[in-house]
Structure 1
Amino acid sequence: MLKITKEKINNKWYEFTLNSHSMSVSFLNFGGIITKILAPDKYGNKENIVLCYQDYAHYETNPLYLGAIIGRVAGRIKNATIQIQNTEYELDQNESCHHLHGGKKGFHNVLWDFNTFQGEDGIGVTLTYTSPDGESGYPGNVNVKVTYLLTINNEFLIEYEATTDKETVLTLTNHSYFNLSGDLKKLVLDHEVTIDSSRILKLDKDLIPFDIVEDVSETEFDFRRGRLLQEGFVSNNEQNQLVGCGYDHYFLFDQQAANKVIVADNESGRIMKIKTNQPGMVMYTANTMQEGIMLNNLKSKKYLGVCFETQASPASLWLNDLPSITLLTNETYKKQTIFSFDVIEKKK
């Protein structure tokens, strides 16, 4: 049975819950923040598989960007400057001298308008926001629509759409931290991840991409046949160590597989598959997660979750041969990411 519920939070936001017969997805109209995804394990136990703050007041500042819509540009823009048609724009500097995740007034901390809908095969909420010309330094009035849809087949779709009245840059993603063990019972060390990618972006000491690694074969970045995340945590690879012993890298999809990412936790039996028309994603394994913030059941710490930030890379602004993030006035930005949930071993 498909059902949508709505609850007032802290007298200023709404939390929506999309319910299907076997799972549910909850999120706020503030930042489009996903607070819960309840999915069954192989024994049928429903547990939360994303990180959330125990005290919802933490979403006001959201230092971990938990579950949020990220924009206008997801990722880091070096020196917080962009150039469009020979005009240079200075953006918010919110990570040293660089610009991160849309700046101080990013999409993660704005209040979105909403509209609910329901059909035979799915239910959802459409979130809308108009980002004014000059917000965080970006040019153009940008109208953004993000739709969250849960289907009867346990697919959770995030659809992005945007237009601008002035040439600008845009690349959106969602910043949920997944932990398929359920209710944070363990770290993500034993999560087995498969990624349709043979190329990554190489990072400098400020975590700014500066080069394309054309072949990740025989390295801890080759996930094409599946790999445990902990292999990168203990790796001597300079790129793994640079980001705090783990991953915070952009993977370019090879477009060889329908499922761009497959994540499995053998103990719980949960498996998550990701399909998308985005050209790649950042995988971040919480290597530098701020510690001591109270989450679902315990305090935040390293390796407690893993993000799969499907998007185009802002590095296209200074690196050739990457898909562009420029949005023209006669274009409509349209992207989709689909998360599907199942279990490896059905309950007997």
Structure 2
Amino acid sequence: MRTWHCEWPRENCGTRYSALFTSTIGSGALCLALGLATMTTSAYGIEMRPFGETEDGTAVEEYTLTNENGISVGFITYGGIVTSINVPDRDGNTDNVVLGFDNLEDYRTKNPYFGTITGRYANRIGGASFMLDGETYTLAANNGPNSLHGGETGFDKQVWNAREVETDEGEALELAYVSPDGEEGYPGTLDVTVVYTLTNDDELRVDYTATTDKPTVVNLTSHSYFNLGGEGTGTILDHELMLNASRYTPVDETLIPTGELAEVAGTPFDFREATVIGERVRENHQQIVYGRGYDHNWVLDRPDDDSLVLAARLHDPESGRIMEIETTEPGIQFYSGNFLDATLVGTSGNIYRQSDGLALETQHFPDSPNKPDFPSTVLRPGETYETTTVHRFLTDGS
């Protein structure tokens, strides 16, 4: 049974909170009756607190989901950003294992996609344009000649509507956003929901759905930077990574796939068995040179269906923490934090240097709208985009 506590006088928080509470479940309604605005649980459940305002005065909240084992995950409504994932090491010591900031201003002005929901199209679209049903659509070129992660003002810079939802698996938060027709050059009004569920099996499940009123393209992912040793503790080059992929998509000098599905065997891209990330990251391989490290899409070895399959397994030998990723997606982007350059100060107050965190983004392939041989990312009216990714946290002592 949950014990609800209320903080933050409602008059300090505005009418946005009153509307939120009318839709909450369980004893949280007591907070509204008492005229108070923030609800927390004493042991497990959902906590919400203010996290600042955008330039136009829109309130941003941070939600924290906590499971029965004491694992917690934090999110803010700005960008749907994952602000923290607190998990134990093999000795039971809990640390945050994702990079981020402790304030909204840095997320608004400095964020290299730490923890964001990325879209309408995650990753790159070559030449910042694509053709669909005979019509060419021009996008923002925000990454050299290409469009990256939805453009100048992608989903990572929108304030999402949040509500608690009931599930059989654990505490869950639903984030919703409606992207209008023509936003960032994309056709169709896209209605998007992302549900974060923290299970009592220590899994963070992310379910994405979207519908459209015109043919469009969509590719959504979560862009957390992980360091299983703990945020701000240093490099991930000593982590061991397994990727369930026999092929990857080589890129040109602007990191757009060439269209080839290349074998990983005999290359620095072979992670079919657990391999120390730093072992080959400095090899003189043209693809490593293009990415300044790893920044590529791997083609997952999976059945020809939409079942959940193991995509990656990340292990930090020092802390003993392990993260396994399962997904319904056909690909995963491994980015080794190549462009972190000691100009950002993280949640812990420490600066982030190159390879102090890594991203493992489940996805459809980059530039799929311009590569007819890649799995399609086209969504049409009457269809529903549905994908799921699960992050499972454990230790090598469990």
TM-score range, shorter chain: over 0.9
Q: How does 1:78-157 map to 2 (within 5 A)?
A: 78-119=126-167, 121-157=169-205
Give, in whole Å, the separation in 1 of the partners of 2:166 and 2:320: 30
Contact 1:171-1:314 within 8 A present in 2 as well:
no
Report the counterpart of residue 335 of structure 1 in structure 2: 387
Give, in whole Å, the separation in 2 of the partners of 1:224 and 1:6: 40
Amino acid at match of 1:48: N
Shift of 1:283: 0.6
Report the counterpart of residue 312 of structure 1 in structure 2: 364
Give, in whole Å, the separation in 1 of the partners of 2:265 and 2:274: 13
Report the counterpart of residue 201 of structure 1 in structure 2: 249
Q: How does 1:1-348 map to 2 (within 5 A)?
A: 2-11=44-53, 12-20=59-67, 21-119=69-167, 121-244=169-292, 246-255=293-302, 258-297=309-348, 298-346=350-398
Give, in whole Å, the separation in 1 of the partners of 2:297 and 2:122: 11
Secondary structure of 1:314's counterpart equals: coil
Give, in whole Å, the separation in 1 of the partners of 2:321 and 2:199: 18
Give the percent of matched residue pairs that are identical in Structure 1 and Structure 2. Answer: 37
Q: Deviation per CA, 1:256-289: give whole Å up to 9, x if none.
A: 7932110000110000000000001111011122
Which shifted more, 140-149 or 227-236?
Answer: 227-236
Give, in whole Å, the separation in 2 of the partners of 1:334 and 1:175: 18
Shift of 1:62: 4.1
Shift of 1:93: 1.5
Shift of 1:91: 0.8
Contact 2:51-2:103 within 8 A present in 1 as well:
no
Contact 1:232-1:240 within 8 A present in 2 as well:
no
Higher relative contact order (CA 8 A, sep 6+): 1
With over 3 angstroms needed to count, the CA separation of the structure-2 counterparts of 1:24 and 1:169, relative to structure 1, is same
Amino acid at match of 1:60: R
How many corresponding residue pairs? 345
Give, in whole Å, the separation in 2 of the partners of 1:18 and 1:55: 19
With over 3 angstroms needed to count, the CA separation of the structure-2 counterparts of 1:320 and 1:137, relative to structure 1, is closer
Q: Deviation per CA, 1:46-105: give whole Å up to 9, x if none.
A: 100000114331111343111000000001111111111111111112122211100112
TM-score, normalising length from structure 1?
Answer: 0.96
Q: Deviation per CA, 1:22-55: give whole Å up to 9, x if none.
A: 3100010110000000000001011000001143
Shift of 1:2: 3.2
Amino acid at match of 2:390: I
Amino acid at match of 1:92: A
Contact 1:29-1:127 within 8 A present in 2 as well:
yes
Give, in whole Å, the separation in 1 of the partners of 2:295 and 2:241: 14
Q: Deviation per CA, 1:290-325: give whole Å up to 9, x if none.
A: 431111231121001110110102322233431111
Secondary structure of 1:136's counterpart equals: helix
Larger radius of gyration: 2
Give, in whole Å, the separation in 2 of the partners of 1:259 and 1:83: 33
Give, in whole Å, the separation in 2 of the partners of 1:194 and 1:96: 31
Secondary structure of 2:345's counterpart equals: coil
